[in-house]
Structure 1
C-alpha cells in the first residue's frame, strides 16, 4: 500500500493553547504544537507531566477548558472520539483492548469497524458489494498483521502472545481503523531492549504507508529519540521545550526536569 492511496488529502494536526483544569488544578496549560504530514512527533515528559491528558483532549475523550484542536485548518475541538476516528485521528491506549480469546488475525479483523459498517439486512442477504467489501477487509487485516511482523503468529490466539507481540498487536488494531494520524500512548511499555528496537524499526515503516503521521507518548528515550523527527517536552502540564531529538537531548531545562523528578499527580 503506497502513500498515494491514503485519503483524505494531507492535513496538519494543530494544537493551539490547549488546556484542561480539574477542580482548579491545571493538568494541561497552554499547550501548542503541530503534527505535520509525514512527521513522527514524540511527546515526552516526567510522570504526571500531562501527556496522556493531552492525548485525551486531542482525541475527544476530554473536553478542553481552553484552546483549539484543528485538523487541516478545520476546528475539531470537542468532537467525540468516534468522530475524530472517522476523520482520521486514531489512538491506542496504555491498557490493552486485545480480545485474548481471538487469534491475531481475528483481532485485527474486528478492528476494521470504521470501514465495515453496513445495514443489517445486508448481513442476511449479502450481494456482490458486501462480498467484495468483506474480501477487502480481510486483505487489509492480513497486510497489517504482516507489516507489524506478526505474520508467523497470524492464527495464534492472542492469549499465547508475548508482551512484545501484544504491543505490536495493539498497534495493528489501531491501524485497522485506517488512521491518517496514529497516536500511540506508551506503546513500548514492558518491552525489553531488543523488543523496543524491533518495535522502533517497524514504527518507522508505517509512516507513508499505513499512516501519514504519528504522535507518540513514550518513556523509552532510546526508542522515542530514534524514531522521532521532532520532540515536544511537557513538564507540570506545560510545554517545556520543542525541537529535534539532538537539541532536546542537550537541553539543560529538559535534563533538569527529568533528573529533578517533576512528578505530579
Structure 2
C-alpha cells in the first residue's frame, strides 16, 4: 500500500519526512555529504550502500543522535533539525538500533508493554490513588501490546521469555518494541541482520502489513538486498557519504552506477 493507495482523509493527517542537504564530518572526513530525500506518507523507503557509505550516520542525524553540520530535517511543516532523540520520538519518529535493546529476562508481552512508556506515564499521585482514567489507560496499553504481538506473528510466543527466542523472533520483537512507541515514521537499522533466507522473507512480508496500519511510513537501512527490493517503494543509494541514486527497485537494479559501485561489485554491503 503506497501513498497513492491510502485513504485521502488519512493522508491529510500524516506528514512526510524531508531531508535536505544533510551533511556531517568527523575529523575532516565527510561521513554524510549533501544528502536529500523524502519519505512520503504510506511509503517504505530503503536506504542502501556499501559498508561505510554513511547510512547509519544519516539515521543518527535524522533522529537527533548527531547534530548536522549542514542541511535540515523537516517533519511535515516542522523544522526538527537537531532536536533531541526523545523529542523526535514524541513527535512520532522512532528508530531501532543494530544492537538489540530487548530485555531478555522479560516475556515477549512484557517487553512490548515496556515500549509503551510514553503513553502509559502517569503523575506519581495516580500510582497511589489509581482511578478510572488510570485503569482505562492500563487496559488500552495492554490491548495495544497484545495487538502488536499478534500482528508481528509472535502470538504463540506471547508469554515466552525473550531469552529463548530465535534470532528471527528477536528481530520481530525489536520491531514490536519500536511500534509500541506509536511512531508515524518507523526507522529500522539493519533489522534482518542474522536472519536466514526464509526468516528474511517472512520478516519482509510482515513489514509490508505494518505500513498504513500500525505505522504511517518506514525507512529501512538493510544489507539484505532481496528484502529491500521486495518491500521498498523507493530506494536511496549512498556511496562514500553521498547520494548515488534514487528510484524504484526496478530502476535501482538497472542503474549502471549502482551496479558498478555496489550491487555488482562483489562487496558485502
Q: 1:108–1:131: structure 2 CA closer, same or farther, 3 Å change rule?
A: same
Alignment map for 1:185-200 (pairs within 5 Å): 185-200=189-204
The 2-side partners of 1:122 and 1:8 are apart by 36
TM-score by length of 2: 0.94
Give the distance between the partners of 1:188 and 1:17, measured in 2 at CA.
29
What corresponds to 2:228 in structure 1? 224
State the alpha-carbon separation in 1 of the partners of residues 227 and 114 from structure 2.
Answer: 29
Q: Counterpart in 2 of 1:20? A: 24
**TM-fit CA distance, 1:262:** 7.9
Aligned residue for 1:52? 56
Contact kept, 8 Å, 1:236 with 1:262, in 2: the verdict is no
Within 2, Cα distance between the matches of 1:62 and 1:113?
Answer: 24
Task: Give 1:114 deviation, angstroms.
Answer: 1.2
Cα root mean square deviation, aligned: 1.8
Match of 2:65 in 1: 61
* Pairwise CA distance, 1:23: 1.1
Asked if the contact 2:11–2:41 (Cα under 8 Å) also holds between the matched residues in 1, the reply is no
Q: 1:179 aligns with which of 177, 183, 201?
A: 183
Distance in 1 (CA, whole Å) between partners of 2:172 and 2:200 is: 10
Q: CA deviation at 1:7?
A: 10
For 1:255 and 1:123, the matched residues in 2 are separated by 58
Report the equivalent of 1:87.
91
Partner of 2:3: none
Distance 1:32 1:249, change over 3 A: same
Q: How far apart are the structure 2 equivalents of 1:262 and 1:83? A: 37
Alpha-carbon displacement from aligned partner over 1:134-180 (angstroms, at most 9, x marks no partner): 00000000000000000000000000100000000000000000000
Q: 2:261 maps to what in 1? A: 257
Name 1:154's counterpart in structure 2: 158
**For the structure 1 residues 74 and 33, does the alpha-carbon distance in structure 2 shift closer, same or farther, using more than 3 Å as the test?**
same
Unaligned runs of 5+ in 1: none
CA gap of 1:8–1:182, structure 2 versus 1, over 3 A, is farther
The alpha carbon displacement at 1:263 in A equals 8.9
CA distance 1:49–1:87, change in 2 (3 Å): same
Alignment partner for residue 237 of structure 1, among 235, 241, 247? 241
Aligned counterparts of 1:133 and 1:29: Cα–Cα separation in 2:
44
Give ranges in structure 2 of 5+ residues lacking alignment: 1-5
CA distance in 1, matches of 2:183, 2:11: 9
Aligned to 2:135: 131
Could you report, residue by residue, the CA deviation over 1:4-60 in whole angstroms, capped at 9, with x for unpaired residues?
898992101000000001111100000000000000000000011000000000000
